[in-house]
């Protein structure tokens, strides 16, 4: 039973599909899963490391800016032809998509070839591609929707999607040791997602530079993205403040990273929110503030506003930072009111952890696998 899983461009689209593929193989061992991703190097890096078979298509993101729109239009035909060729070569019984610009041409090709589609909506506010895909999918599932009463009847609600390793308890000390950290020290995890987040890096660097006393007794695991110059500057900031830190462009082992953390500062992509819930890690979310639909703030709203299981910190504005700007105390929002109590109060962190534990299992990958396999068996 061949199954295609389509999505890419960011780790946030690929990792949920990897979780679904794990569940498919557990539920039906003879299934064959193959991925369709973008031509961005990150996609190939992740899927190669995971040992997954994949094909890349020349899909381009949609946008209204003239250059982006022209690239999308010029690339659409080639992306769809590539997707159709992949479908014809592998004859999948079903296609599972995680949304985004890779999924759209795959769905269009699947319609031409009459292959059923299971669409997975990850964000609380569905993007342009997912709204279009949902109209053509046989089944659409979503982990969270901001206004659930307004979605079409064929949408189904599921729990968050995480990898199997995230659903297995890890000893915090062993996790820290595996990541090169001091197993006995309290640990702060800072992550801006698979590609890092420049402004988040800058905000934390400002805090380390000006309030190193907050970090007494703490060490930091900081995933900063692939910018070599920014990585160098971050190391200099931590070293000057004498705050122990491991700074890496990308964390392969997020299960151990979350397990190691007593506290996290994170963007609020759907994958990060799901991992916070799975690991029960007290977290200060800093949602990316420049999406028009504000979907990252909506992603974490139920944890922050309804469950008292996390904190949502509003980011001030777009910043370009350097070591010089930090020294000059420029351009950074004051996050002390949210950040300092979380570092200094064991009780506040424990309360958040307890509230996260009440939210139930994060077995959305099993649900998607079950739905996809049932649909495939009908073919």
Residues 96-122 have a mean pLDDT of 94
Q: What is the CATH number of domain 2-161+362-377?
A: 3.40.50.2000
Domains 2-161+362-377 and 168-357 share a fold: yes
Given a cut of 70, whether residue 325 has pLDDT beyond it is no
Q: What is the pLDDT of residue 308?
A: 85
pLDDT tens-digit series, residues 295-321: 888 888 888 887 788 888 765 444 444
Domain ranges of the chain: 2-161+362-377, 168-357
CA distance 91 to 334: 55
Give me the CATH topology for the region 168-357.
Rossmann fold (3.40.50)
CA distance 335 to 332: 9
Reference 118, options 91, 142, 97; nearest CA is: 97
228/60: higher pLDDT: 60
pLDDT given at position 336: 63
CA distances from 11 to 47, 153, 252, 368, 375 (A): 10, 29, 11, 18, 26
Q: pLDDT tens digits for 184-221? A: 999 999 998 767 777 788 888 888 988 899 999 999 99
For 360, the token pair is 């139930």
Helix (H, G, I), strand (E, B) or coil at 368: helix
- The count of other CB atoms within 10 Å of the CB of residue 293 is 14
Rounded to the nearest angstrom, the gap between the alpha carbon of residue 238 and the centroid of all alpha carbons in its chain is 26
**Tokens representing residue 187 in the block:** 């640990």
Q: What is the pTM of this model?
A: 0.86
pLDDT digits (tens, 9 = 90+) for 14-55: 999 999 999 999 999 889 999 999 999 999 999 999 999 999
pLDDT band at residue 338 under the 50/70/90 scheme? confident
- The pLDDT value recorded for residue 355 is 94
Is the confidence at residue 7, as pLDDT, over 90?
A: yes
Model confidence over 138-166: pLDDT tens digits?
A: 999 988 765 555 666 678 889 999 999 88
- What is the C-alpha separation between 190 and 265, in angstroms, rounded? 5
The highest-confidence range among 2-6, 227-231, 313-317, by mean pLDDT, is: 2-6
Please give the average per-residue pLDDT across 228-254, as a whole number: 90
């Amino acid at each position: 039973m061949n199954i295609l899983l389509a999505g890419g461009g960011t780790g946030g689209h690929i990792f949920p599909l990897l979780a679904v593929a794990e569940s498919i193989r557990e539920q039906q061992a003879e299934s064959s899963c193959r991925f369709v991703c973008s031509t961005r190097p990150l996609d190939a890096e992740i899927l190669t490391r995971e040992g997954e078979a994949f094909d890349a298509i020349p899909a381009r993101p949609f946008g209204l800016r003239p250059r982006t729109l022209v690239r999308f239009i010029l690339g659409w035909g080639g992306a769809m032809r590539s997707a159709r060729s992949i479908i014809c070569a592998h004859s999948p019984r079903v296609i599972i998509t995680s949304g985004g610009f890779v999924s759209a041409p795959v769905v269009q090709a699947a319609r031409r070839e009459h292959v059923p589609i299971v669409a997975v909506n990850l964000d609380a506010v569905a993007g342009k591609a997912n709204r279009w895909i949902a109209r053509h999918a046989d089944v659409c599932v979503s982990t969270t929707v901001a206004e659930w009463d307004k979605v079409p009847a064929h949408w189904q609600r599921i729990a968050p999607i995480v990898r199997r390793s995230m659903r297995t308890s890890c000893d915090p000390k062993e996790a820290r040791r595996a990541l090169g950290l001091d197993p006995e020290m309290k640990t702060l995890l800072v992550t801006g997602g698979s590609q890092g987040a420049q402004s988040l890096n800058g905000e934390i660097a400002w805090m380390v530079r000006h309030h190193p006393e907050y970090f007494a007794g703490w060490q930091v695991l900081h995933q900063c993205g692939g910018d070599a110059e920014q990585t160098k500057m971050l190391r200099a900031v931590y070293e000057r403040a004498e705050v122990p830190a491991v700074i890496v462009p990308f964390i392969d082992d997020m299960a151990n990273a979350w397990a190691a953390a007593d506290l996290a500062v994170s963007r609020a992509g759907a994958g990060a929110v799901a991992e916070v819930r799975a690991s029960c890690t007290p977290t200060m979310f800093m949602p990316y503030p420049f999406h028009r639909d504000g979907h990252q703030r909506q992603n974490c709203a139920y944890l922050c506003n309804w469950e008292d299981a996390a904190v949502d910190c509003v980011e001030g504005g777009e910043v370009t930072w350097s070591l010089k700007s930090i020294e000059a105390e420029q351009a950074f929002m004051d996050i002390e009111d949210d950040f300092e109590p979380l570092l200094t109060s064991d009780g506040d962190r424990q309360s958040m952890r307890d509230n996260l534990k009440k939210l139930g299992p994060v077995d959305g990958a099993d649900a998607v696998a079950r739905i996809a396999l049932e649909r495939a068996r009908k073919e």
